[in-house]
């Protein structure tokens, strides 16, 4: 199959094996072969280097400071206390004592050196978890509404997320061979369809993301996903799902052929049809996605190019029938809830705000230690949210005070105020090779300055969604935030405003290039206008969408 370089790499990879195993044995370099670095993404692993050290190492004629990021696949973000403790131990042994909660309810480990990579993957597997398909041109971690306070409904949605994740996993044995010393299997061309019955040897044209939402909550930001299942609830029960297709955030500065997009409703499916529908959508994207140009390879571009009706026909060709029209849904919230919430089964759920998802210990806030102690109680479970936060879930009432005491004893607040409550940031520098500007490292200082601006205008208690990324690939979903900041160059960002606080409307460009002071000055002015002219209960994003005139293009 002719196509981009990545298509050639997949073609020659023998179902994602490449020469990864041989490269791990090469002690001369801390890196892997270029082609293998593309294949390891399918295994949940990214090769990175410390960009802070590049200049000095370059002057000394040294190899870049290579290391690896390993991402754990956690369908719906649910971990047992034992699994949390295992991931914490892996962080301490292999990843510099830090875990990072992602925007897809997963955990990432950074700074894993090549010599420790197999041992870290084996330790993840020992915790009954894996990194397979956490990255790459396949379906990635399936998201689900994080807070289980609506017990039976949530359990059903979570079960679907787990079933979708398992059904759409690659079938290749390469992962087990390379990382877990499984028996090696030579796959012949004649065995291709049997080896990968859904994906085929070329897998998908690009990454693929699925989320399951439970209205009226939209904490998974479902319309930003390639494929969404939005529960339709009647008489207190899920009767089926509205199926949404074609969402995605990534774009490229100055390239009009790329753009963020919210998903369209494809139709409605009954509960027992959901997995078959997902497979059919994946196969339609496999067959019709753009394999010539990766920047236009996501499903959103396939739907945009073909049109929704034609794409529906392609899905029906695999499914055997057309979906009836969607039933319709309404969201009333998008962010996470914080503090204690009672479930309908009498158990309690504690939402914790974790800035940029970084679980570590500092001198004043020993978050990692506190969560390890909570996990040692061996009650409930840990649920990662799609907004880089955490829910300590299914807690009997008699444990509430004990958990609060553990958190307070380590300086961990239960809630945050102001913009910190709904802020997200990608990792960006120093480890992301795509970053054009800082994100996670810049976010705390920016929030401190903007917090003072909020207070001056009497807006401290107003929830406003702010999301920042170091580049326009959009990993922290900035284009669906009331305030989106997207890196353009070191210290400079494009400002986007006016998304719906419910995740149902994208924002629009407001200022193309602002430095830190420019961001503060601009938002100071706008917060003042908002405070003076907003309607009762009006959110900042809704106000900005009608009060601000988009700049001429």
Contact criterion met (CB below 8 Å) for 328 and 242: yes
Q: Is 144 a catalytic residue?
A: no
If asked whether residues 156 and 290 sit together in one domain, one would say: yes
Q: What is the CATH number of the domain that holds 528?
A: 3.30.413.10
Q: What is the pLDDT of residue 551?
A: 52
Q: What is the CATH number of the domain that holds 74?
A: 3.90.480.20
Does residue 481 form part of some domain?
A: yes
Nearest to 277 by CA among 236, 239, 328, 240: 240
Does residue 116 form part of some domain?
A: yes
pLDDT at 127 over 60: yes
pLDDT at 188 over 60: no
If asked whether residues 151 and 165 sit together in one domain, one would say: yes
pLDDT at 552 over 50: no
Render pLDDT for 23-50 as a digit per residue (tens, 0 to 9): 999 999 999 999 999 999 999 999 999 9
Q: How far apart are CA 232 and CA 227, in angstroms?
A: 16
Does residue 192 form part of some domain?
A: no
**Using CA atoms in the order 529, 532, 535, 536, what is the torsion angle rounded to 10 degrees?**
130
Q: Of 286, 475, 477, 488, which is the active-site residue?
A: 475
Q: What is the CATH number of the domain that holds 344?
A: 3.90.480.10
**Using CA atoms in the order 309, 314, 320, 325, what is the torsion angle rounded to 10 degrees?**
-20
If phi > 0 it is left, if psi is from -120 to 50 it is alpha, else beta; for residue 216 that is: alpha
For 441-500, where are the alpha helices, taking DSSP H only? 443-456
Q: Of 17, 41, 71, 286, which is the active-site residue?
A: 71
In this structure, what token pair is assigned to residue 84?
């949390």
If asked whether residues 119 and 1 sit together in one domain, one would say: yes
pLDDT at 189 over 70: no
If asked whether residues 11 and 128 sit together in one domain, one would say: yes
If asked whether residues 310 and 429 sit together in one domain, one would say: no
Q: What is the pLDDT of residue 190?
A: 44
Give the pLDDT mean for 497-506.
98
pLDDT band at 242 (very low <50, low <70, confident <90, very high): very high
pLDDT band at 4 (very low <50, low <70, confident <90, very high): confident
Q: Of 41, 426, 477, 488, which is the active-site residue?
A: 426
pLDDT at 60 over 60: yes
If asked whether residues 431 and 411 sit together in one domain, one would say: no
- Which of 90, 120, 136 represents a domain boundary (last residue)? 136
In this structure, what token pair is assigned to residue 71?
């991402």
pLDDT at 451 over 80: yes
Q: Is 432 a catalytic residue?
A: yes
Q: Is 471 a catalytic residue?
A: yes
Q: How far apart are CA 105 and CA 141, in angstroms?
A: 8
Q: In the chain, how many domains are there?
A: 4
Give the pLDDT mean for 142-162.
96
Q: What is the pLDDT of residue 550?
A: 59
Q: What is the pLDDT of residue 414?
A: 86
Range from 273-287, 365-379, 495-509, 539-553 carrying the lowest mean pLDDT: 539-553
Q: How far apart are CA 449 and CA 19, in angstroms?
A: 49
Render pLDDT for 306-317 as a digit per residue (tens, 0 to 9): 999 999 999 999
If asked whether residues 274 and 372 sit together in one domain, one would say: no
Render pLDDT for 8-22 as a digit per residue (tens, 0 to 9): 999 999 999 999 999
pLDDT at 99 over 60: yes
If asked whether residues 395 and 376 sit together in one domain, one would say: yes
Does residue 102 form part of some domain?
A: yes
Q: What is the pLDDT of residue 184?
A: 57
Above pLDDT 90, what percent of the chain?
95
Give the chain's mean pLDDT: 95
Does residue 183 form part of some domain?
A: no
If asked whether residues 105 and 165 sit together in one domain, one would say: no
Distance linking the first and last C-alpha atoms of the chain: 39
* Contacts of 159 by beta carbon, 8 Å cutoff, 6+ apart: none
Does residue 191 form part of some domain?
A: no
Does residue 310 form part of some domain?
A: yes
If asked whether residues 445 and 397 sit together in one domain, one would say: no
Q: How far apart are CA 159 and CA 129, in angstroms?
A: 16
Q: Of 209, 372, 420, 467, which is the active-site residue?
A: 209
Check whether the bond before 430 is cis (ω within 30° of 0): yes
Q: Of 201, 206, 207, 421, which is the active-site residue?
A: 207
Above pLDDT 70, what percent of the chain?
97
Q: Is 135 a catalytic residue?
A: no
Q: What is the pLDDT of residue 182?
A: 76
pLDDT at 553 over 60: no
If asked whether residues 124 and 215 sit together in one domain, one would say: no
If asked whether residues 327 and 278 sit together in one domain, one would say: yes
Domain housing 507? 419-547
Q: What is the pLDDT of residue 191?
A: 47
The count of other CB atoms within 10 Å of the CB of residue 464 is 24
Does residue 488 form part of some domain?
A: yes
pLDDT at 192 over 70: no
């Amino acid at each position: 199959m002719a196509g981009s370089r990545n298509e050639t790499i997949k073609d020659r990879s023998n179902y994602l094996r490449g020469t990864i195993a041989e490269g791990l044995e090469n002690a001369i370099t801390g890196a892997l072969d270029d082609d293998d670095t593309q294949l390891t993404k399918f295994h949940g692993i990214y090769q990175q280097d410390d960009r802070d050290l590049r200049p000095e190492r370059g002057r000394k004629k040294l190899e870049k400071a290579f290391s690896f990021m390993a991402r754990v696949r956690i369908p719906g973000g649910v971990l047992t206390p034992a699994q949390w403790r295992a991931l914490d131990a892996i962080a301490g042994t292999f990843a510099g004592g830090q875990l990072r909660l992602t925007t897809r309810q997963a955990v990432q480990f950074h700074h894993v050196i090549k010599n420790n990579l197999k041992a870290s993957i084996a330790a993840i597997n020992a915790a009954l978890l894996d990194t397979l398909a956490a990255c790459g041109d396949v379906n990635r971690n399936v998201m689900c509404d994080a807070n289980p306070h609506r017990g039976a409904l949530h359990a059903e949605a979570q079960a679907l997320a787990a079933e979708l994740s398992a059904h759409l996993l690659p079938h290749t044995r390469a992962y087990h061979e390379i990382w877990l010393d499984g028996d090696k299997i030579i796959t012949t061309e004649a065995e291709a369809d049997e080896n990968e019955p859904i994906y085929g040897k070329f897998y998908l044209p690009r990454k693929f993301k699925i989320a399951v939402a439970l209205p009226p909550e939209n904490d998974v930001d479902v319309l930003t996903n390639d494929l969404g299942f939005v529960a339709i609830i009647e008489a207190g029960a899920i009767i089926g799902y509205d199926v949404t297709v074609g969402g995605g955030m990534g774009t490229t500065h100055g390239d009009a052929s790329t753009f963020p997009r919210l998903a369209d409703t494809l139709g409605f499916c009954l509960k027992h049809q959901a997995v078959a529908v997902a497979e059919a959508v994946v196969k339609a994207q496999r067959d019709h996605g753009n394999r010539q140009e990766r920047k236009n390879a996501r499903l959103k571009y396939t739907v945009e190019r073909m049109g929704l009706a034609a794409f529906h026909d392609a899905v029906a060709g695999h499914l055997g029938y057309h979906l009836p029209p969607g039933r319709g849904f309404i969201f009333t919230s998008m962010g996470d809830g914080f503090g204690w919430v009672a479930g309908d089964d009498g158990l309690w759920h504690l939402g914790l705000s974790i800035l940029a998802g970084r679980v570590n210990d500092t001198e004043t806030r020993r978050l990692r230690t506190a969560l390890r102690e909570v996990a040692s109680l061996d009650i409930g479970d840990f649920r990662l949210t799609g907004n880089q936060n955490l829910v300590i879930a299914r807690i009997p009432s008699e444990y509430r005070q004990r958990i609060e005491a553990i958190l307070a004893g380590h300086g961990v607040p239960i809630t945050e105020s102001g913009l910190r409550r709904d802020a997200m940031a990608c990792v960006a520098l120093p480890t992301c090779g795509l970053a054009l500007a800082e994100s996670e490292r810049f976010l705390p200082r920016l929030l401190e300055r903007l917090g003072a601006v909020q207070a001056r205008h009497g807006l401290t208690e107003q929830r406003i969604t702010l999301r920042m990324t170091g580049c326009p690939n959009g990993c922290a979903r900035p284009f669906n935030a009331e305030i989106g900041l997207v890196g353009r160059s070191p210290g400079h960002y494009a400002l986007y405003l006016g998304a719906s606080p419910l995740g149902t409307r994208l924002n629009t460009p407001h200022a193309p290039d602002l430095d830190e002071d420019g961001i503060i000055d601009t938002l100071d002015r706008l917060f003042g206008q908002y405070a003076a002219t907003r309607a009762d209960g009006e959110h900042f994003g809704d106000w900005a969408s009608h009060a601000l005139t988009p700049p001429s293009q």
